[in-house]
Amino acid sequence: MSEALLQARGLHLAFGGVKAADGIDLDVLRGEFLAIIGPNGAGKTTFLNMATGYLRPQAGTIAYEGESILGLAPRAIVRRGIGRSFQLPQLFTEHTVLENVALAVAAREGVWSPLRPLLRPAWREEATEVLARFGLATLAGARADALNEGARKLTDIAMAVALKPRLLLMDEPTSGVAAAEKMAIVETLARVLRETGVTAVFVEHDMDVVERFADRVAVWSQGRIAALGPPGTVLADPAVQREVIGIEGPGAAAAGLPGGIAAGHA
Amino acid sequence: MRRGAEISLALLGVAGVLAAAWAAPWLRFVLTIALAKGIAVLGILLLLRAGQVSFGHALYLSSGAYVVAFLAPSLPEALLLLPLAALIAGLIGLVAGLFLARYRDIFFGMLNLAISMVFYSLLEKLYELTRGTDGIRVEPPRVAGLALTLEAYVWAMLLVALVLAVGFGMLVRAYLASPMGQALAGIKTRETRLEFMGVSARRVLLAAYVLSALMGGVAGAIVGMTTRHVTPLLAYWTTSGELVFIAILGGAGGALGPFLGAVTYELVRVYAAAAFAEAWQAILGVVLLLVILFAPGGLWGMLLGLLGRRPGRAP
Ligand SMILES: Nc1ncnc2c1ncn2[C@@H]1O[C@H](COP(=O)(O)OP(=O)(O)OP(=O)(O)O)[C@@H](O)[C@H]1O
Ligand SMILES: [Mg+2]
């Protein structure tokens, strides 16, 4: 079996004139934490959308565990073990935080039991444990639409984690999370994922988080991967600094980026 | 606490129905019809949890009633007719649901209406089979093998309706608290997340839809055996509207709401129709308007408010 858990080749997707994916080749390696960075509109979310079956690329292939997942519905892809959290949290707003996570547990264990309650002891306990890990224990009884942005974000991730995926794709997991809590939360999240052998891809704008937790960094720019490698090397590159860490936006020319720093894996 | 209160209220309701039926013989018929409609409205309530309103559930009510009308001559046994009506309405619900569960909101509502109107015109036009608008007379079937006097039969129908109302009420209550019921409520707020959790939202809605059709069929069978005259009017869109009306009047917050709504509706209808033959529909309209404006939780929400409990939210 290959070392790549997820394998994307030649992904193309344009929205009108906008090339959101313009030849994406990427191997996500088993067990790694891969950070995706890049300016707004570079196509980071589009990549996650294609990998989870929400968008279908116009060209190219995606394989998971060596099998093509192209054309599968999100539901089928999730069942194969790819979980996802969202840039804008996708919560069941009329349910409590606990119920949101319990629904994820139910989705994993089998939702088709019409007579036993969702909050049966085993599922309530598991959901409570997951919430505790994310520091959300005190909010368990709160309705999801009453949360602040950070808590919504964490609930969203907690739901994805509760599905126990083998590959977890996270879209800006720390945006909206208070700076004071950010590192502690990512720390816990990273520990949980490492302990359970989960491979993770996360889109991230905070370079401290990237530096600390990513094994590799992929730099997205105008639908392409402009650079790929260990954070130490990639983040030190002046072109990357200009494009991503410095002035952001599509105005900053991608032309200055090197075609790709040799993909040495840490 | 909530559970205890609901059980007490349900027991109180059962006792109230029995006492009223004992004291006033003419109420036996009215209450049986009200309980039957309450069972059908439980199905409307399920779909409301998913944010969907069916304007076509008269289809299932009339299916159940016509199953009774067609089969009663050859199979005169209430306790067989009821499950058969449930089964056939459930099957029709499955076939229609496979198509309808793809649609949401106004499309879901209107397609339900469209299918029920097709059924209505079939009932009207296929005179050889259905005797058109004249309808079909139903001879009282046996109940548990017993050929009853008319008075005993009316009682038996009321008791059957009461037992089924309690049974389906408990079933729906458990269903709503179950993962399937909670996922149903998830369709209302974030359907795509269900898909991203590996759950088919369509199947979640379909399951609830089939259950709602089945309950509609049971309700229709009770109506058919109680009125003993089945006409296409049962399939007409006004009957569907009535079920939605009762759902809103009673409140969608709990399984007792539909029965509160149905009993109130039938009583207002009977009294208002007797007192103001011309204006009773206007009276019902005003009642509905007041409920929507001042008590969005319906009668059930008002009752919980009186008892000092929070109304409304999903269990
Ligand atoms: N469904 C869509 N329909 C039309 N255009 C889209 C769609 N999804 C993305 N785009 C466009 O594709 C480009 C890439 O968008 P994408 O959301 O992938 O960027 P991103 O890298 O995630 O940006 P951000 O950091 O702002 O989240 C943008 O120009 C966006 O407007
Ligand atoms: Mg994005």
Q: Where are the alpha helices (DSSP H) in A116-213?
A: 121-133, 149-162, 179-195, 207-213
CA-CA distance, B224 to B126, in Å (whole number)?
19
Query: What pLDDT is stored for residue B294 in this prediction?
Result: 86
Domain assignment present for A264:
no
Contact B282, B238 (CB under 8 A): no
Model confidence pLDDT, tens digit, residues A196-214: 899 999 999 999 999 999 9
Tell whether the torsion through CA atoms of B297, B302, B304 and B308 is positive or negative: positive
- Per-window interface: A 39-98 vs B, CB < 8 A: 52, 73-75, 78-79, 84, 90-95
* Residue with CA nearest ligand 1 atom 22: A45
- Across chain A, which distance is largest between two alpha carbons, in Å? 61
CA-CA distance, B32 to B223, in Å (whole number)?
8
Contact A228, A260 (CB under 8 A): yes
Residues whose CB falls within 8 Å of the CB of residue B205, separated by 6 or more in sequence, listed in order: B47, B50, B52, B97, B101, B184, B187
CA-CA distance, B74 to B78, in Å (whole number)?
12
List of E strands, chain A: 4-15, 18-29, 33-37, 59-64, 67-68, 82-85, 167-171, 199-203, 216-221, 224-229
Residue B155: is its pLDDT beyond 90? yes
Return the number of other C-beta atoms located less than 10 Å from residue B222's C-beta. Answer: 31
DSSP reduced 3-state for B146: strand
CA-CA distance, A243 to A55, in Å (whole number)?
27
Burial of B91 (0-12, 13-18, 19+ CB in 10 A): middle
Domain count, chain B: 1
Query: What pLDDT is stored for residue B296 in this prediction?
Result: 84
* Residue with CA nearest ligand 1 atom 29: A41
Query: What pLDDT is stored for residue A180 in this prediction?
Result: 85
Residue B167 has phi, psi (to 5 degrees) of: -60, -50
Percent of chain B residues topping a pLDDT of 90: 71
Provide the residue range defining the domain that includes B35. Answer: 23-236
Torsion angle of C-alpha atoms B48, B50, B52, B54, degrees rounded to 10: -60
Model confidence pLDDT, tens digit, residues B175-217: 999 999 999 999 999 999 999 999 999 999 999 999 999 999 9
Buried b / exposed e over B13-30, threshold 16 CB at 10 Å, is beeebeeebeeeeebbbb
CA-CA distance, A5 to A29, in Å (whole number)?
5
Nearest to B184 by CA among A222, A99, A147, A87: A99
Percent of chain A residues topping a pLDDT of 70: 91
pLDDT tier at A257, thresholds 50, 70, 90: very low
Domain assignment present for A260:
no
Domain assignment present for B297:
no
- The shortest C-alpha distance from A170 to chain B (Å) reads 13
**Across the interface, which of B179, B194, B200 has its CB nearest the CB of A113?**
B179
Query: What pLDDT is stored for residue A253 in this prediction?
Result: 39
Query: What pLDDT is stored for residue B62 in this prediction?
Result: 96
Query: What pLDDT is stored for residue A246 in this prediction?
Result: 62
Contact B188 A94 (CB under 8 A): yes
Domain assignment present for A24:
yes
- The shortest C-alpha distance from B214 to chain A (Å) reads 15
- DSSP H or E stretch at residue B229: strand B229-230
Contact A142, A92 (CB under 8 A): no
Torsion angle of C-alpha atoms A198, A199, A204, A208, degrees rounded to 10: 80
Tell whether the torsion through CA atoms of A192, A194, A199 and A201 is positive or negative: positive
Section A45-74 average pLDDT: 95
**For residue A172, which atom of ligand 1 is closest to its CA?**
27
Domain assignment present for A259:
no
Strand partners, A59: A12
DSSP conformation class of A169: E
* Residue with CA nearest ligand 1 atom 11: A20
Section A149-164 average pLDDT: 93
Cβ < 6 A, ligand 1 pocket: A 15, 18, 20, 38, 40-46, 87, 220
Query: In Å, how far are A25, A238, B311 from B301, measured between CA atoms?
Result: 57, 64, 5
Query: What pLDDT is stored for residue A265 in this prediction?
Result: 36
Contact B190 A93 (CB under 8 A): yes
Which tokens in the block code for residue B118?
């097709």
Q: Where are the alpha helices (DSSP H) in B72-200?
A: 78-100, 105-125, 127-130, 150-177, 179-195
Section B58-76 average pLDDT: 95
Domain assignment present for B293:
no
Domain assignment present for B256:
no
Section A143-168 average pLDDT: 93
Query: What pLDDT is stored for residue A262 in this prediction?
Result: 33
pLDDT tier at B268, thresholds 50, 70, 90: confident
Domain assignment present for B77:
yes
- The shortest C-alpha distance from B68 to chain A (Å) reads 29
DSSP conformation class of B143: B
ipTM score: 0.89
Q: Where are the alpha helices (DSSP H) in B50-71?
A: 58-71
For residue A96, the number of C-alpha atoms closer than 13 Å in the C-beta half-sphere is: 19
Q: What CATH number is associated with residue A15?
A: 3.40.50.300
Domain assignment present for A73:
yes
Return the number of other C-beta atoms located less than 10 Å from residue A1's C-beta. Answer: 7
**Across the interface, which of A107, A112, A119 has its CB nearest the CB of B197?**
A107
Model confidence pLDDT, tens digit, residues A106-154: 999 988 999 999 999 999 999 999 999 888 999 999 999 999 888 899 9
Domain assignment present for B241:
no
Residue A255: is its pLDDT beyond 80? no
Tell whether the torsion through CA atoms of A34, A35, A41 and A45 is positive or negative: positive
Domain count, chain A: 1
Query: What pLDDT is stored for residue A245 in this prediction?
Result: 66
Q: Which of A70-74, B3-7, B48-52, B246-250 has the lowest mean pLDDT?
A: B3-7
**Across the interface, which of A92, A106, A115 has its CB nearest the CB of B174?**
A115
Instruction: Give me ligand 2 centre to Cα A40, in Å.
Output: 7
CA-CA distance, A245 to B33, in Å (whole number)?
71
Provide the residue range defining the domain that includes A203. Answer: 4-254
Identity at A27, one-letter amino acid code:
D
CA-CA distance, B134 to A121, in Å (whole number)?
56
Residues whose CB falls within 8 Å of the CB of residue B74, separated by 6 or more in sequence, listed in order: none
Strand partners, B136: B230
Chain B residues with CB-CB distance to A92 below 8 A = 185-186, 189-190, 193
CA-CA distance, B174 to A119, in Å (whole number)?
12
Identity at A144, one-letter amino acid code:
A
Q: Which of A118-127, B101-110, B289-298 has the lowest mean pLDDT?
A: B289-298
DSSP conformation class of B315: -
DSSP reduced 3-state for A262: coil
Model confidence pLDDT, tens digit, residues B124-139: 888 878 887 788 898 9
